[in-house]
Amino acid sequence: MTAETFSAQETHELGRKIGENALPGEVYTLIGDLGAGKTVFTQGVAEGLGVKDAVNSPTFTILQIYEDGRMPFYHFDVYRIGCIEEMDEIGYEEYFYGNGVCFVEWANLIEEILPENYKEIRIDTDISKGPDYRRITIEEKPAKA
């Protein structure tokens, strides 16, 4: 599906709906440039999951775990990852194949370890439509025939 948003609040709201409907064991990837709105979207997801703790993208932490929602919420931001072994050190498999829901900002940097099935959320800007415009595409991977 594709949605268009015209403010950060609308992106947050879309994230909240996804969070409300997320299922245990799902992995979502977030693809988009710096400032696209991946963290805004993720904050909406957290709200939809009932997470009360503040969600942000700490510069030097690849994984933040929130356990106060209706299921564990694993927020990865791999922007500053140096090599894929760092994911092993974190023990990512426990989270990707666990009973919580994973959201992975900059997942394109760790493509080789993504699970076979995941949902990709792509956030694109289009400056011709204004600075606050975003096109958000959510797609199952691999694409269904």
Q: Where on the chain is the footprint of ligand ADP (CB under 6 A)?
A: 5-8, 10-11, 32, 34-40, 57, 105, 132, 134
Q: How far is the CB of 48 from ligand ADP (least distance, A)?
A: 16
Rounded Cα distance between 131 and 47, Å, is 25
Sequence-distant (≥ 6) Cβ neighbours of residue 34 within 8 angstroms: none
If one asks whether residue 43 binds Mg ion (CB under 5 A), the answer comes out as no
116 Cβ contact partners less than 8 Å away, ≥ 6 residues apart: 142
Q: Please list, in sequence order, all residues whose beta carbon lies within 8 angstroms of the beta carbon of residue 4, skipping any fewer than 6 positions away.
A: 133, 134, 135, 136
Residue 64 binding Mg ion, by CB under 5 A: no
- List the single partner that 16 binds among Mg ion, ligand ADP, none, CB under 5 to 8 Å by kind: none
Among 3, 50, 57, 63, binds Mg ion (CB under 5 A): 57
Q: Which residue has the tokens 């500053």?
A: 80
**Residue closer to ligand ADP (CB basis): 56 or 117:** 56
Q: How many CB atoms lie within 10 A of CB 29?
A: 25
Decide if 76 contacts 103 (C-beta within 8 A). yes
Q: Please say which residue, 95 or 103, places its beta carbon nearer to Mg ion.
A: 103
Q: Which of 5, 11, 29, 39 binds Mg ion (CB under 5 A)?
A: 39
Binding of Mg ion by 12 (CB under 5 A): no
Is residue 134 a contact point for Mg ion (CB under 5 A)? no
Closer to Mg ion by CB, 27 or 55: give it: 55
